[in-house]
Chain A
Amino acid sequence: DADVTQTPRNRITKTGKRIMLECSQTKGHDRMYWYRQDPGLGLRLIYYSFDVKDINKGEISDGYSVSRQAQAKFSLSLESAIPNQTALYFCATSDTPFEQFFGPGTRLTVL
């Protein structure tokens, strides 16, 4: 079984819809992260969490929110999706600050 799983793997939605992307991990790591990846822009941090009660904004948090439901679960929400949120989204986990393990990614398309 994969250590870091993301659901759904692909999603097509319409402008204005609320979307939730989910991440689960079995690695036992406290730290979890959400990134988006766009061609030419690389990986950019949206939110990160060092434990269940700790949530921090990353470089590009506007338009996104997160929930850390448990040590193993970290969800990313788009309250009202817009086309420029079309991207590949990655969840990652770590037990040290920068040695991260990434999930398989969610490809999100907003029409």
Chain B
Amino acid sequence: QKEVEQNSGPLSVPEGAIASLNCTYSDRGSQSFFWYRQYSGKSPELIMSIYSNGDKEDGRFTAQLNKASQYVSLLIRDSQPSDSATYLCLAGTYKYIFGTGTRLKVLA
């Protein structure tokens, strides 16, 4: 079992819809989680962090954390073609383990 798992996709959603990206992790010692966005040919950039159970909202983005079930998700509301990218999940442990990423395609 990989320490941080993501569905590689592609996840295709129509413009204006909600995109839901999921990440599961195996290390119960992970206390914080981070979502990075990576456009094709570019470097990753941090878009969300979450440290406690529940939801955290920032504009069109909502991160959700459920430590009991060991998953973290990222919701993107009103998806735009400019959201098309690969989204990487990072579990906050000393190992710095990233998931392999989910490729999101928002269809105009």
Which residues of chain A have a CB within 8 Å of any CB of chain B? 33, 40-45, 48, 58-59, 90, 97-105
Q: Is the CB of B98 within 8 A of A98?
A: no
Is there contact, CB below 8 Å, between B44 and A102? yes
Does B21 reach chain A (CB closer than 8 Å)?
Answer: no
Can you pick out 24 interface pairs between chain A and chain B where the beta carbons lie within 8 Å of each other? A33-B96, A40-B100, A42-B88, A42-B98, A42-B101, A43-B44, A43-B98, A44-B98, A45-B96, A58-B96, A59-B95, A59-B96, A98-B32, A98-B34, A98-B90, A98-B96, A99-B34, A99-B46, A99-B49, A100-B46, A101-B46, A102-B45, A104-B42, A104-B43
**Which B residues are closer than 8 A to A by beta carbons?**
8, 32, 34, 42-46, 49, 88, 90, 92, 95-101
Find the A residue at minimum CB distance from B99: A42
Known contacts A43-B44, A105-B43: A98-B100 contact under CB 8 Å = no
CB pair A41 B100 closer than 8 Å: yes
Question: Chain A contacts of B32 at CB under 8 A?
Answer: 98
The secondary-structure label for the interface of chain B is loop
CA distance A62 to B96 in the complex (A): 17
With both beta carbons as reference points, the residue of chain B lying nearest to A94 in the complex is identified as B46
Q: Which residues of A contact B45 (CB under 8 A)?
A: 101-102
User: How many whole Å from A40's CB to the nearest CB in chain B?
Assistant: 7
Asked if A42 and B96 make an inter-chain contact with CB atoms under 8 angstroms apart, the answer reads: no
Minimum CB–CB distance for A89 against chain B, Å? 11
CB distance from B88 to the nearest CB of A (A): 7
Given the interface pairs A98-B34, A99-B34, the reply to whether A59 lies near B43 with Cβ below 8 Å is no
